[in-house]
């Protein structure tokens, strides 16, 4: 059975890696979006990767070595010490999104101490909490529920900043 994975590539090698995957028969997906680039003498619309240094591949387990050995590939993106599996519906959502919207940008979540956040996945999904401390990839969150204080380190990409959504 084929599964989607995220692949981390060398800087600015996404299109080349995608092309190499296609040449060796590996199903891949490189989400691109159109961006206006301005030079001194002209303005041009170019296609750039939506996620820098990432390409998605749909492979069987036996093809992992072939993917790793492809020129320009650094490695799989890992989650909990295993290559991160991307669900089919997540790939479909990205495809629909880039098909329907223009002027797309991707921003990292910036969190500050005491920001109110909602956890978006995992066993604590939908729980709200407050940021106690942030790191590069994880934040320590205070979750007040059931009359107890629970402190957990949560990956930043699994948090939604509710403090910045105030009008």
Domain boundary among 74, 100, 126: 100
CB 18 within 8 A of CB 8: no
Same domain, 63 and 25: yes
Which domain, by its residues, includes 151? 116-165
Same domain, 25 and 79: yes
Same domain, 155 and 74: no
Q: Report the pLDDT value the prediction gives residue 167, as an integer from 0 to 100.
A: 41
Is residue 132 in some structural domain? yes
SS3 assignment, position 91: helix
Per-residue pLDDT of the chain (167 residues; tens, 9 = 90+): 999 999 999 999 999 999 999 999 999 999 998 888 888 899 998 999 988 899 999 999 999 999 999 999 999 998 878 999 999 998 998 898 888 877 776 766 578 888 888 887 777 777 788 888 887 777 888 876 655 566 677 788 778 888 765 44
Q: Report the pLDDT value the prediction gives residue 149, as an integer from 0 to 100.
A: 61
- Give the dihedral sign, CA 56/57/58/64: negative
Q: Report the pLDDT value the prediction gives residue 150, as an integer from 0 to 100.
A: 66
- Give the dihedral sign, CA 91/93/94/98: positive
Q: Give the residue ranges of DSSP H helices in 39-164.
A: 64-68, 88-100
Same domain, 82 and 123: no
Token pair of 153 as six digits: 């380190």
Q: Report the pLDDT value the prediction gives residue 32, as an integer from 0 to 100.
A: 93
Token pair of 3 as six digits: 């599964």
Same domain, 42 and 120: no
- Domain containing 147 — which CATH number? 2.30.30.30
The label of the residue with tokens 């190499």 reads 20
Domain boundary among 75, 100, 125: 100
Q: How many angstroms separate the CA atoms of 46 and 50, rounded?
A: 12
Same domain, 94 and 121: no
Q: Report the pLDDT value the prediction gives residue 72, as an integer from 0 to 100.
A: 97
Is residue 105 in some structural domain? no
Q: How many angstroms separate the CA atoms of 80 and 124, rounded?
A: 16
Same domain, 90 and 127: no
Is residue 110 in some structural domain? no
């Amino acid at each position: 059975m084929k599964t989607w994975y995220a692949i981390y590539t060398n800087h600015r090698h996404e299109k080349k890696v995608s092309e190499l995957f296609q040449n060796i028969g590996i199903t891949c997906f490189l989400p691109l979006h159109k961006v206006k680039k301005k030079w001194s003498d002209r303005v041009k619309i170019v296609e750039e990767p939506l996620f820098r240094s990432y390409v998605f591949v749909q492979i069987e387990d036996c093809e992992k070595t072939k993917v790793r050995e492809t020129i320009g590939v650094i490695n799989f993106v890992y989650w909990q010490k295993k290559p991160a599996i991307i669900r089919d519906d997540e790939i479909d959502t990205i495809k629909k999104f880039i098909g329907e919207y223009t002027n797309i940008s991707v921003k990292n979540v910036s969190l500050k101490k005491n920001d109110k956040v909602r956890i978006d996945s995992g066993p604590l999904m939908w729980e709200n909490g407050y940021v106690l401390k942030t790191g590069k990839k994880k934040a320590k969150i205070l979750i007040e529920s059931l009359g107890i204080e629970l402190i957990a380190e949560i990956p930043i990409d699994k948090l939604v900043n509710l403090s910045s959504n105030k009008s």
